[in-house]
Chains A and B, each alone.
Chain A
Amino acid sequence: MGGDLNINHLEFLGHGALWTLGLSAMALIGGGLFGFVLALARIAPARALRWASGGYIQLIQGTPLLVILFLGYFGLAAIGFDLSPLVAAGASLTIYNAAYFGEIWRGCIQSVPKPQWEAAEGLGLSRTQRMFKVILPQAIRIATPPTVGFTVQIIKNTSLASVIGFVELARAGQIINNSLFKPFLIYAIIALIYFAMCYPISRLSRRLERRMALGRAQPIPA
């Protein structure tokens, strides 16, 4: 067997790369929405909400993504829920990334100085108004660099979806290698494509972080 890498192989890889981006988008949007809810629940006045969201985050952060993927695909199938690899992968990544987003954003919300809450409270704003009109706009600025940075993790983590047969970039490479047996060449190409996706985002994250550091000159007297 064997043969040379040709245009068809590259096209197949391109297809896989597109699915990697698609899966990343699903994970980013799903994980982001659910993570936002988790972040709010983590600092809710109701103890039960704080408790449940905290427990969820602990549980998921203590579980490998690989295991969550297996559970979502093979585990649910065994008890009668037959999910397509796409749905299983999207759901697993959402569940996993939400736990991280929830914790990152909780930290960002809590790093808005407490007197900001009090000033808003003193003006008569309700808790919801304080959160959405005063605290979150400030927290978003703080959250942008770590969120962009975490997006790189999300993209790389989608490669694990290959284990449940989802043909994204890593799985596409595996399939081609199975017929060509040129692992070094093929995986080097795969690595390059991942790098090309992630590097601009890392750069953006670092630039945002630098800009934040410059803009931090805020007069908060003791």
Chain B
Amino acid sequence: MSDPTAIVSLKDVHKSFGPLKVLDGVSFSVARGEVMAIIGRSGSGKSTALRCIDRFERIDSGTIEVCGHRVDDPQVDLKALRQDIGIVFQSYNLFPHLTVEENITLAPCSVKRVAKAEAKSLARQVLAQVGLEDKLNSYPEQLSGGQQQRAAIARSLAMQPKVMLFDEVTSALDPELTGEVLKVIEALAADGMTMVMVTHEMGFAKGIADRIVFMHRGKVHEAGTAGILSAPATPELAQFVGTGF
């Protein structure tokens, strides 16, 4: 595709749910080590764009390329694609019947066929990364929301993805717990992880994102560095930033 350094690249992506056009010609690309924040109102298509990257949704037309995989190709190797992508959801989605350690070792053991002992040391390593070493043997329901979300991030990291997708990962948390999750994401950014995040945390986006994409009515309405938040070029972004949402 056009940009050989891009890890994620969308080109003229269209997607409708029935008569509702959710993505109307979306294009953007994310380079290695870059942090991109997608912002916009509810229903602007930002979450759908993210879900299309991991192929939870199939697109109607256009192209999506992630780490060399053609996501829009019906024959794409989903197993390989999902090993390169880590995704974290708003509702954590830890597996309630497994301990934190089992949540983390499940995918490395069953997808990558990593040996049990190796997976366990990997689990300790990623849990240390998110500050939850002591929760190895806890069940998800014994953790706070913030801890669950950090465990979910650790679970994704254990697959050693090349790019991480975050779908409004702090929206279910109260402000106090939001901070601890954002700190983990900041540390990842500092480590050079490529990330695409859909977020409502404007201050956070401003501080961490190399690039910001503002979506409006299924289109990339405005894009640029964090500077566009303080000096919007379009009235829609100005209004969005002005209202805070």
Write out the residue numbers on chain A whose beta carbons fall within 8 Å of the beta carbon of B89: 115, 118-119, 122
What residues of chain B lie closer than 8 Å to A218, measured between beta carbons?
A: 96, 141
Chain B residues near A129 (CB, 8 Å)? 110-111
With A129-B110, A219-B145 already in contact, the answer to whether A119 and B95 are too (CB < 8 A) is yes
- Are A217 and B145 in contact (CB-based, < 8 A)? no
| CB < 8 Å A-B pair total | 67
Render B59-93 as a binary contact track against A, CB cut-off 8 A, 1 for contact. Answer: 00000000000000000001100110111011101
Out of B96, B156, B159, B172, name the residue touching A221 (CB < 8 Å): B172
Are B95 and A134 in contact, CB atoms less than 8 angstroms apart?
A: yes
Determine whether the beta carbon of A123 is less than 8 Å from that of B155: yes
**Per-residue contact bits, chain B 98-109, to A (CB 8 Å; 1 contact, 0 not):** 000000001100
| B207-235 to A contact mask, C-beta < 8 Å, 1/0 | 00000000000000000000000000000
Q: Which residues of B contact A217 (CB under 8 A)?
A: 141
A137 to B103, CA, bound (A): 13
A204-222 CB mask vs B (1 if < 8 Å, else 0) is 0000000000000111111
A138 to chain B, nearest CB (A): 6
What is the predominant secondary structure among interface residues of chain A facing chain B? helix
Q: How far is the CA of A123 from the CA of B106 in the complex (A)?
A: 9
Chain B hits for A133, CB < 8 A: 106, 110
Q: CB-CB < 8 A to A118: which residues of B?
A: 56, 89, 93
A207 to B93 Cα, complex, angstroms? 28
Which listed residue, B56, B78, B96, B172, touches A138 by the CB 8 Å rule?
A: B96
B25 to chain A, nearest CB (A): 26
B95 with A125: CB separation less than 8 A: no
For B110, list chain A residues within 8 Å (CB): 125, 129, 133
A3 contacts partner chain B, Cβ-Cβ < 8 Å: no
A129, B107: Cα distance in complex, Å: 10
Instruction: Give the complex CA separation of A145 and B90 in angstroms.
Output: 31
Interface secondary structure of B, over-half rule: mixed
Q: Is the CB of B91 within 8 A of A124?
A: no
At the interface, yes or no: B148 with Cβ under 8 Å from chain A? yes
A141 CB-CB contact with B under 8 Å? yes
- Is A82 part of the contact surface with B, judged by Cβ < 8 Å? no
A121 to chain B: which residues have CB within 8 Å? 56, 82
Residue of B nearest to A114 (CB): B93
Q: Is the CB of A126 closer than 8 A to any CB of chain B?
A: yes
Instruction: Specify the chain B residue showing the minimal Cβ separation from A217.
Output: B141
Could you say which residues of chain A place their CB within 8 Å of the CB of B155?
123
For this complex, into which size category does the number of interface residues on chain A fall? Answer: 20 to 34
Known: A124-B79, A124-B159. A219 touches B111 (CB 8 A): no
Q: Indicate if the CB atoms of B107 and A125 lie closer than 8 Å.
A: yes
- B141:A221 contact, CB within 8 angstroms: no
B54 at interface by CB-CB < 8 Å:
yes
Q: Kindly report which residue of chain B lies nearest to residue A220, judged by CB atoms.
A: B91
Instruction: Annotate B178-215 by CB proximity to A: 1 below 8 A, 0 otherwise.
Output: 00000000000000000000000000000000000000
Nearest A residue (CB) for B143: A219
The reply to whether A116 and B95 contact each other, CB–CB distance below 8 Å, is yes
A32 to chain B, nearest CB (A): 21
Is B97's CB under 8 angstroms from A137's CB?
Answer: yes
Minimum CB–CB distance from B64 to chain A (whole Å) comes to: 16
Q: Is A138 a contact of B87 with CB atoms below 8 Å?
A: no
| Contact code string B131-163 (vs A, CB < 8 Å = 1, else 0) | 000000000010001001000100110010000
Give A12 to B97 CA distance when docked, in angstroms.
47
A122–B90 contact, CB under 8 A? no
CA distance A134 to B98 in the complex (A): 9
Question: Do A221 and B79 touch (CB < 8 A)?
Answer: no
Min distance, Cβ A195 to any Cβ of chain B, angstroms = 36
11 more A-B contacts (CB under 8 A) besides A124-B82, A219-B141?
A119-B152, A120-B95, A122-B156, A123-B106, A123-B155, A123-B156, A129-B111, A134-B95, A134-B106, A218-B96, A221-B145
